Structure 1
Amino acid sequence: MGFILAAVGSAIGLGNIWRFPGVAYTNGGGAFLIPYLVALLTAGVVYLLFDWALGHRYRGSAPAIFRRIHPKFEPLGWFQVGLCFLIITYYAVIVAWSVRYMGYSLNRAWGDDPAGFFTKDFLHLLPSTQAHVTGDVVPGVMWPLVLVWLFVTLIMAMGVSGGLERLNKIFLPLLVVMFVGMVVRAVTLPGAVDGLNSFFTPDWEALADPHVWIQAYAQIFFSLSVMFGIMITYASYLPRRANLAPTSFVVAFSNSSFEILAGIGVFSTLGYMASKQGIAVSELEGITGPILSFVTFPQVISMMPGGHFFGMLFFGSLSLAGITSLVSLIQVVTAAVQEKFGMGVRASSVVVGLVSAALSIGLYSTSNGLNMLDVVDNFVNNIGIVSSAILTVFLLTFVVRRLPELHHHLSEHSAKPLRGWWRLFAGYITPIMLTVMLVFALVDLVQHGYGDYPSWFVLAFGWGALALLVIGSVLLSLLPWRTRVDHFVPARLEGVEPRPYHHHIDPREVQEASR
């Protein structure tokens, strides 16, 4: 149960509450739900099982696991750790915004201009066309961010059972209760039915747009936390006897159910907002990411009776969802640091926390913070995570041919044997979809850049961030390990059938297993 709650807590995050409704709104409303469900089954569940098979069989952090598969694959593990490290530096900032806005909800501090308050009074944001590196720290962002980092570092220092599992056992049920309360309030608002009709009535023409399908797959990867180290690390803590396949469906469908619930709450609120303005739901603007959460929702809160309580529920839910996902991202980094450098739980938590907090505060609590956040997040999610997934599947399927082994492991550790559909989608069909998605993203970025940011800014914080990840991954792989990772006993070694890929098992491992 602790593992399920931790995995669900990692999956349910900011992407569920602000990204999914915005992506659905801009990609055909109800029509988006069809490719979304297809992506859930063909990519979400498939690669969740892929990660769990790797973590449960090879027992370690991402770099250790890929080194055990093949010594030359260790940089891929560090690349996944690096992706998590980049994400936590800006993810914590959004959590800090949410915490601050809980207080703002009490007196509706944004007044009659939530957009101006968010960008000017709160963030002191520079226009994107004038984005540049600045040391102008914004105190209203910095101090909540310091508190967030102190809290999550303390949780991580308490360990997996004492900190991470306990956090999810408390915060996840509280999150569900608070968010359900918010949704109940939203669906009772005047005009909520119009919003729900917009959410569930499909625009069938949108299904012919490849961009809609690409967005559906991107949402599943972003939301389920697959293929960039999180679920691999979590699965390594599972006991040897674990029921993997059914558990993956529980986590995947719990996450998607929460996203549908978020869609109901957000679209009901948008229906109310549209009715107040006398326009159609489709004519609303600003239904994306930070603008949806920190501009659109404050507008609604100002319009509705009992808005103070509604605002506390919304931003409280956003804060809890962000914290549960943030600690899962940090766990990927601390687990790798512990194994590579032989550090203890507390020492690694403090080191990772201090370094991450310093970068987070120095970069994202400045007046240019949202601009940098936007660029780094786009390149990490649309290029970094997808590239990690494609490379992982390619190496394990075609280079070292471990896909049959992982399939066998999943079948051995599930209530019922896993059918051949998993291997088909994991190794062949879904990677083609991901490659198409990556090519589309790369062509678009090369031809049009990103947003209206200066080209040097995108080069430095977008492409530059990915280049630093690649270089750092190689350099970290060259450092010696302080713990023994090259020889180990895979889970259920005796259950592996004699196949051509069986050569990787060292005779000493068999002797150790027999003892």
Structure 2
Amino acid sequence: MDNRPQWGTRAGFILAAVGSAVGLGNIWRFPAVAYENGGGAFFFPYLFALLTAGIPLLVMEFTIGHKYRGSAPLSYARLSKKYEWIGWWQVAVSFVISTYYAVIIAWAMSFAGFSFSLKWGDDPEGFLFGSYLNLAEAPGQVGSIVPGVFIPLVIVWVIALGVLFKGIKKGIEIANKIFIPALVILFLIIVVRALTLEGAAQGLDAFFKPDWSQIASPKVWVAAYGQIFFSLSIAFAIMVTYSSYLPKKTDITNNAFITGFANSGFELLAGIGVFAALGFMANQAGVPVSEVVAGGVGLAFVVFPQIINEFPALNGLFGSLFFICLVLAGLSSLISIVETFVAGVQDKFKISRTKAVLYGGGLSAVISILFATQGGLYFLDAADYFINQFGVALAGLVEVVIVAWVLKELKNLQNHADSMSDIRLGGWWRVCLGIITPAVLGYMMVQNIITNIKDNYEGYPTSFLLYSGWGVAIGAVILGFVFMSIKWQKNTLEIPENKEVSQ
């Protein structure tokens, strides 16, 4: 008998999956990546990557979770005992990400408050790194805890762990039914306002104008696959975990298509809003849009405050709405990330959900304090880069190679998905996962390794990167094998009957 908790509704699962996929990267990574890789022309490789890697991988992870009814480590152990470590590796990657992701949400929470009085003044960059973060002089220096970051960080963890304590149906599902509609409505208000600003058309022209000469560049295709891969929460152990809470009768393939297209739809919306605002900023400064384009932390916490300063009316209101959107997008993703190790610990050690949230979430919250110190931004930057490039992307490559080529499980997984779904997968699915995805991810990985051996990331000292970057990425793999060495309790690896139960 399967006593696993379940989603209350199909919509609840889809909103949770979309909530996990739609995170900070959709708002601050996608617009810049699209612009730098051919503008409107980028959408062709992007759509191709979504259909040949994003959705096929979502289907695979949804199917593994649904068929084997467990957290990522338990599902991989049931697939093959030898490869349980992949599940733990992905859980360790999620654990690392949760520790610093919470801090970025805390920044956004602070800036939502700062917006009302435009506290950053005429120099948002100086305010961010100086007054707010009180940034240490050099990478590796920890310094003291920054109260302005630490206090909202505590609030972030209280909300996230509070939701997780309530469980799947009464916690995660209800939270996403509030967060995701609220996020979309608030972001639509921002986009509509941005579109009415002087210079918005100039920004949209820069965003959508296709540069077809870039289509032939391998760099552009790799960027498209990378964006899809990092955006959809693939290889984080999240989608395997979430799908393990699905009832017996569920349309796996359809759910994957809805999740994939909903995530991409929000990315496109974000691109329109961001570039309309950048067009306004360029217009105000009398410079081309290319001079004001930015991505990541710089876009959110430096460029957007500059744009908000220039708003003709209601600056504080629209500023706070933007940062509230970052908080909502971040919280829905953080909750999904923490759920992966909560579920893994619960399955492995047979402890209550309350204890798993307390131990797993509590440890992550304590470690996250490191990123709330004066040197926190340097540690965050290095950990984020290396755990994504050599954690998420590499784990995804290993996952798909082992499932497709070593265990040769694609046909079995396809049969399970087809038996549940209205859309039948066909041979294209196996070709995508067996050939296209491993080839592209493999190429990405080789290029990343060559780049990082030739030049230190961001010019950071080698000694700093060895423990804050490479050490973190390698440590996640080692943890995978450490946890695999702990024996499962009796009968845990038996695959339960796929019966529907209430939570």
TM-score range, shorter chain: over 0.9
The amino acid of 2:30's aligned partner reads F
Q: Deviation per CA, 1:207-257: give whole Å up to 9, x if none.
A: 222222111111111111012210000110001111111111111111100
Query: For residues 39 and 416 of structure 1, do their structure 2 counterparts lie closer, same or farther at Cα, with a shift above 3 Å needed?
Result: closer
Q: Deviation per CA, 1:95-126: give whole Å up to 9, x if none.
A: 00000000000000000000000011111113
Does 2:54 match 1:44?
A: yes
> In 2, distance between residues paired with 1:231 and 1:340?
18
> In 2, distance between residues paired with 1:346 and 1:48?
29
Partner secondary structure for residue 488 of structure 1: coil
Aligned counterpart, 1:376? 383
2:435 paired residue among 403, 428, 432: 428
**TM-aligned CA deviation for residue 347 of structure 1:** 1.3
TM-score by length of 1: 0.93
The amino acid of 1:204's aligned partner reads W
Query: For residues 303 and 416 of structure 1, do their structure 2 counterparts lie closer, same or farther at Cα, with a shift above 3 Å needed?
Result: closer
**TM-aligned CA deviation for residue 51 of structure 1:** 0.3
> In 2, distance between residues paired with 1:316 and 1:228?
25
Residue range with higher mean Cα deviation, 260-269 or 197-206: 197-206
Aligned counterpart, 2:286? 278
Q: How does 1:177-326 map to 2 (within 5 A)?
A: 177-285=185-293, 287-305=294-312, 306-326=314-334
The 8 Å contact of residues 341 and 483 in structure 1, kept in 2 or not, is answered as no
Q: Deviation per CA, 1:125-150: give whole Å up to 9, x if none.
A: 135xx211414211110111011111
Aligned counterpart, 2:3? none
The 8 Å contact of residues 75 and 473 in structure 1, kept in 2 or not, is answered as yes
Query: For residues 28 and 125 of structure 1, do their structure 2 counterparts lie closer, same or farther at Cα, with a shift above 3 Å needed?
Result: farther
Aligned counterpart, 2:6? none
Q: Deviation per CA, 1:316-355: give whole Å up to 9, x if none.
A: 1010000001100011010001011111111111111210
**TM-aligned CA deviation for residue 66 of structure 1:** 0.9
Partner secondary structure for residue 208 of structure 1: coil
Q: Deviation per CA, 1:398-453: give whole Å up to 9, x if none.
A: 22211110111111110132211001101112110110011111110011120121
Q: How does 1:77-156 map to 2 (within 5 A)?
A: 77-127=87-137, 130-156=138-164
Q: How does 1:151-170 map to 2 (within 5 A)?
A: 151-170=159-178
The amino acid of 2:263's aligned partner reads N
> In 1, distance between residues paired with 2:142 and 2:407?
46
The amino acid of 1:375's aligned partner reads A
Residue range with higher mean Cα deviation, 79-88 or 32-41: 32-41
Does 2:97 match 1:70?
A: no
The amino acid of 2:424's aligned partner reads P
Aligned counterpart, 1:406? 413
TM-score by length of 2: 0.95
Residue range with higher mean Cα deviation, 152-161 or 33-42: 33-42
The 8 Å contact of residues 139 and 460 in structure 2, kept in 1 or not, is answered as yes
Aligned counterpart, 2:465? 458
The amino acid of 1:398's aligned partner reads W
**TM-aligned CA deviation for residue 490 of structure 1:** 6.1
Aligned counterpart, 2:42? 32
The 8 Å contact of residues 142 and 376 in structure 2, kept in 1 or not, is answered as no
**TM-aligned CA deviation for residue 491 of structure 1:** 4.6
**TM-aligned CA deviation for residue 462 of structure 1:** 1.1
**TM-aligned CA deviation for residue 483 of structure 1:** 6.3
Aligned counterpart, 2:33? 23
Q: How does 1:311-390 map to 2 (within 5 A)?
A: 311-361=319-369, 363-390=370-397
Aligned counterpart, 2:5? none
**TM-aligned CA deviation for residue 382 of structure 1:** 1.6
> In 2, distance between residues paired with 1:233 and 1:393?
17
Unmatched 5+ stretches in structure 1? 493-515
**TM-aligned CA deviation for residue 171 of structure 1:** 1.0
The 8 Å contact of residues 197 and 277 in structure 2, kept in 1 or not, is answered as yes
Partner secondary structure for residue 417 of structure 1: coil
The number of residue pairs the alignment matches comes to 488
Aligned counterpart, 1:510? none
Residue range with higher mean Cα deviation, 69-78 or 252-261: 69-78
Query: For residues 296 and 377 of structure 1, do their structure 2 counterparts lie closer, same or farther at Cα, with a shift above 3 Å needed?
Result: same
The 8 Å contact of residues 250 and 420 in structure 2, kept in 1 or not, is answered as yes
Partner secondary structure for residue 68 of structure 1: helix
The 8 Å contact of residues 339 and 482 in structure 1, kept in 2 or not, is answered as no
Q: Deviation per CA, 1:431-488: give whole Å up to 9, x if none.
A: 1011001111111001112012111111111110012112211111111224632212
CA RMSD of aligned residues (A): 1.3
Aligned counterpart, 1:504? none
Partner secondary structure for residue 493 of structure 2: coil
> In 2, distance between residues paired with 1:135 and 1:157?
33
> In 2, distance between residues paired with 1:364 and 1:444?
26
> In 2, distance between residues paired with 1:452 and 1:249?
40
Partner secondary structure for residue 436 of structure 2: helix
The 8 Å contact of residues 249 and 420 in structure 2, kept in 1 or not, is answered as yes
Query: For residues 477 and 375 of structure 1, do their structure 2 counterparts lie closer, same or farther at Cα, with a shift above 3 Å needed?
Result: same
The 8 Å contact of residues 136 and 142 in structure 2, kept in 1 or not, is answered as no
Unmatched 5+ stretches in structure 2? 1-10
Does 2:65 match 1:58?
A: no
**TM-aligned CA deviation for residue 313 of structure 1:** 1.1
The 8 Å contact of residues 149 and 357 in structure 1, kept in 2 or not, is answered as yes
> In 2, distance between residues paired with 1:37 and 1:308?
36
Residue range with higher mean Cα deviation, 276-285 or 152-161: 276-285
Identical amino acids, percent of aligned pairs: 46
